[in-house]
Amino acid sequence: MEPRLNLMTNPLGTKVGKRVYSVNLAIQEASLPKSLLELVELRVSQINGCGWCVDVHTQEAARAGEAALRINLVAAWRESTVFTDAERAALALAEEGTRIADAHLGVSDETWARVREHYDDDQTAALISAVAMINAANRFSVITRMQGGTYDPAAFAALATDGA
């Protein structure tokens, strides 16, 4: 399957991508571990079937210090012993926030309460924003058929730092 369009080389796609990158920089200003954000983004990408984003967030989670065991078990976090209660709350928020159409109630009160036990207002806003942004990124990549196994962190970093 060939990619349909490379948004990273398309002028308008590049403009949009830079703005998405800027939003992600704001999310990273919250006092959440980068590894947690990567696990949340990895889980959302798995649910949405985005091979490119799974590639990105698997590599970035490892770069952020995540162990291979935890990266490999994120798809089965409920049946795993390697995640903290706080991480479980964030992963539940990610799943329920992604499966809004499936759940038809959105994020449950139980999940919301668990998130609020572990995260302050800024951290919660960052988690909500991360879930929303990775869902958008997944749609860009799935619609254009970007393939997993092609992520190059150096090329992405160069694109992100080019003039806006």
Task: Kindly indicate whether the domain formed by 31-154 is annotated with CATH number 3.20.20.300.
Answer: no
The rounded Cα 141 to chain-centroid distance in angstroms is 13
Which among 42, 69, 63 is positioned nearest to 53, based on CA atoms? 42
Task: Name residue, tokens 């806003």.
Answer: 125
Contacts of residue 16, defined as CB under 8 A and 6 or more positions apart, other chains included, come to: 7
User: Taking the CB of residue 55, how many other CB atoms lie within 10 A of it?
Assistant: 20
Structure tokens at 47: 């649910």
Tokens standing for residue 88: 């479980």
Q: Rounded to the nearest 5 degrees, what angle is found at the Cα of 53, between the Cα atoms of 51 and 54?
A: 65
**CB-based contacts of 148, cutoff 8 Å, min separation 6:** 51, 52, 54, 55
- Cα atoms in the 13 Å half-sphere on the side-chain side of 107: 20
Write the DSSP symbol of residue 65: T
Distance CA 153, CA 130 (A): 19
- The rounded Cα 26 to chain-centroid distance in angstroms is 14
CB 47 within 8 A of CB 135: no
* pLDDT by residue, tens only, the chain of 164 residues: 787 888 878 889 889 888 888 898 999 999 999 999 999 999 999 999 999 999 999 999 999 999 999 999 999 999 999 999 999 999 999 999 999 888 678 899 999 999 999 999 999 999 999 999 999 999 999 999 988 988 888 766 665 666 54
For the chain, the structural domain boundaries read 31-154
